[in-house]
Amino acid sequence: MWRTGRLVLRQWEAGDVARAFDLYRRWEVARWLGAAPRVLADEAEAAAMVERFRGRSADPRFGVWAVERLDTGVVAGSVLLVPMPDGDGEVEVGWHFHPDAWGNGFATEAAAAVVAKGFADGLAEIHAVVRPDNEPSAAVCRRLGMASLGRSDRWYGTELEVFRLGRPTV
């Protein structure tokens, strides 16, 4: 668990299942995720997803974390730092936020914290992949200082905008 100015990044917990369901049952969120986007059907699916998220942290460098607002204690969304599928060691930063948290800079704040953690843990570069029409997420990439590498269908079975950020030199 760690904090930013306005957020706590922590493991998803069993008590978060209802909020996870409320987040991932929404088409306006799910439409940006995966090769074949779909919404969660019920809280049982959300509970299984929370357990998968918890399992993604077996290697302490990586994970899918709940992003909790310090001011309200409400989970605003997820932030992730995970190896990319079928990659050559590439690592992806990503974020999924509830619509009631959009427009507050939470995605940028949480992603910046995860990127800093990744670089502190020795990563040389971090990628983000964004659906081509997801301008809000592309804007987060730009705010993080990521460079656009164009489009690729290398990961997730669909064409995505690829962004990359190298570890800062001191």
Could you read off the pLDDT of 87-139 as tens digits, one per residue?
A: 788 999 999 999 999 999 999 999 999 999 999 999 999 999 999 999 999 99
- Assess if residue 120 is contained within a domain: yes
* Bridge partner list, 83: 91
- Assess if residue 104 is contained within a domain: yes
* Residue-level pLDDT at 121: 96
Q: Which residue range is the domain that position 30 belongs to? A: 2-124
Domain containing residue 57: CATH number = 3.40.630.30
Q: Is the pLDDT of residue 48 over 90?
A: yes
- Assess if residue 145 is contained within a domain: no
- Assess if residue 59 is contained within a domain: yes
Give the total residue count for the chain: 170
Domain count, the chain: 1
* Residue-level pLDDT at 45: 96
* Residue-level pLDDT at 10: 97
CA 103 to chain centre: 16
* Residue-level pLDDT at 157: 85
- Assess if residue 73 is contained within a domain: yes
- Assess if residue 148 is contained within a domain: no
- Assess if residue 98 is contained within a domain: yes
- Assess if residue 25 is contained within a domain: yes
